[in-house]
Structure 1
Amino acid sequence: MGTVLVRSIRGQSLVFPEEGVRDYAVLQPSVPIDLTAFTLWLRVATELSGHREIIFFSYFNDRDELNIWRELDGRISLYLGRSNYGEKFSSPGLSTFGNHICMTWESSSGLTAFWFNGKRSASKIYRKGHQVIPGGRVILGQEQDKFGSRFDAQQSLVGEISDVHLWDYVLPPTSIKQIYEGKPQSLGNIINWESIKYTLYGNVIA
């Protein structure tokens, strides 16, 4: 059984201590995830290097609805709606000291951008006209091949994750930069790290 925690984790991280399939966290968004645009923000620290996939964010319904990855080649990628391909962005590389990752996407145009430590990539076009549908489960630390299960140890997160926020719209660049700089901004209206309810499984430490 998991441990349900309701208290604020503001300023804290979730620690995933080892590779495997037992350690993960289930987040309970304040409202259903039903998106035609979004900004997804998180901070991750890891010492995993080399040719190793890492899942940062997995939202699964009866399919992969919204996943953020580090690919085998080190690029950061976004996958939406059981797509056979993700939109991939070059990355300077993750570190044990922590990196801020932000992904923005807007359905009507397909415009997608990746932010790494406050710096923005060139925009790409991905899944124009798509919608991220409600009814799924958000998991940190493992990638779901089935609703809430069927994990792969070689894709698990080993390290720390914090400051996970999800908005149902694209934040302006000035706001994203200010969040990175630690300046007060509105927090995620779908997932808010300061008030999110979550359940921990395995050896995850809050």
Structure 2
Amino acid sequence: MKLFANLLLFGCLHLASTDMPMRKSLLFPLETDTSYVELIPQRNLSMTSFTLCMRLATELATGNREIILFAYRTQNYDELNVWRESNGTYSLYLATSNVNNAVVFKLPELNAFQTHLCLTWESQFGLTAFYVDGRRSLRKVYNVGHKVTAGGRVILGQDADAFLGKFDKKQSFVGEITDVNMWNYVLPTAIIKDLHAGKYAPRGNVFDWETINMKVNGNASVICDRSVV
């Protein structure tokens, strides 16, 4: 399965090197405790602010089902995790093993159609906000003065309760993820709206989806589509 996934990724890179526009997506077809994709950052994840954006589609966001959307784990902590919680809220956890130490938002539910989801946070005032299809939520204050530390690993599809281990299939992501980009600063609202609309915007300087390297595990796969220009 890993060889097959690597061949798919090679095919994406081959298409990208031709004149045919290409867009890659990650597909997580099954609820498992083995399927995940590790993203290799393009710079150190030591950050006092960030913007994280991605497009997601899943049919799991109903009822009492936790869904991990993004997981950055260091040796001792969930350094930066984004969740769809079992009660239907969406949350950010920074450097904590305490399930109560999160900032929580009520957002429109994810569904089978792609949702453009962004999250911004900055340390000086702790201002935190979600964006859903270009629309900003209210802002909340969370972890003033905090700094995200480097030295961990970023994965999609699973939540690691240990350093890249102890996965729970009932928390896994099932569906499709694409356009994962991250910046070590807060993007203006106008730029996030442009990202949602598919317009030109600065490429992520922590994760750039166009050039990102990744490691695919289990039943996860990389799917390549030719973009319409």
TM-score category of the 2 structures, normalised to the smaller one: over 0.9
TM-score computed with the length of structure 2 as normaliser: 0.86
Q: 1:138 corresponds to which residue?
A: 154
Q: 1:23 corresponds to which residue?
A: 35
| 1:78-97 pair list within 5 angstroms | 78-82=92-96, 84=98, 85-97=101-113
| 1:161-172 pair list within 5 angstroms | 161-172=177-188
1:75 partnered with 2:89: yes
Q: 2:144 corresponds to which residue?
A: 128
| 1:99-178 pair list within 5 angstroms | 99-178=115-194
For residues 136-167 of structure 1, the C-alpha deviation after alignment (integer angstroms, 9 at most, x for no partner) is 00000000111111101110000011110010
The size of the alignment, in residue pairs, is: 206
Correspondent of 2:53 among 41, 44, 59: 41
Q: 1:201 corresponds to which residue?
A: 217
* Residue 98 (structure 1) shift: 1.1
Q: 1:53 corresponds to which residue?
A: 66
Q: 2:227 corresponds to which residue?
A: none
* Residue 83 (structure 1) shift: 5.5
**SS of match in other structure, 1:73:** coil
For residues 110-160 of structure 1, the C-alpha deviation after alignment (integer angstroms, 9 at most, x for no partner) is 000111111101110000000100000000000011111110111000001
CA separation in 1, counterparts of 2:142 and 2:84?
A: 18
CA separation in 1, counterparts of 2:191 and 2:169?
A: 36
CA separation in 2, counterparts of 1:36 and 1:202?
A: 33
CA separation in 2, counterparts of 1:137 and 1:103?
A: 19
* Structure 1, gaps ≥5 residues long: none
**SS of match in other structure, 1:12:** strand
TM-score computed with the length of structure 1 as normaliser: 0.96
- The percentage of counterpart residues that share the same residue type is 48
Output the amino acid matched with 1:13: S
* Structure 2, gaps ≥5 residues long: 17-21, 223-229
* Residue 12 (structure 1) shift: 1.9
Which one has a larger percent helix, Structure 1 or Structure 2?
Answer: 2
Correspondent of 1:186 among 202, 207, 221: 202
**Segment drifting more, 2-11 vs 37-46:** 2-11
Output the amino acid matched with 1:87: V
CA separation in 1, counterparts of 2:124 and 2:217?
A: 37
**Segment drifting more, 187-196 vs 77-86:** 77-86
CA separation in 2, counterparts of 1:144 and 1:115?
A: 25
Q: Name the Cα RMSD after superposition.
A: 1.5
CA separation in 1, counterparts of 2:142 and 2:97?
A: 10
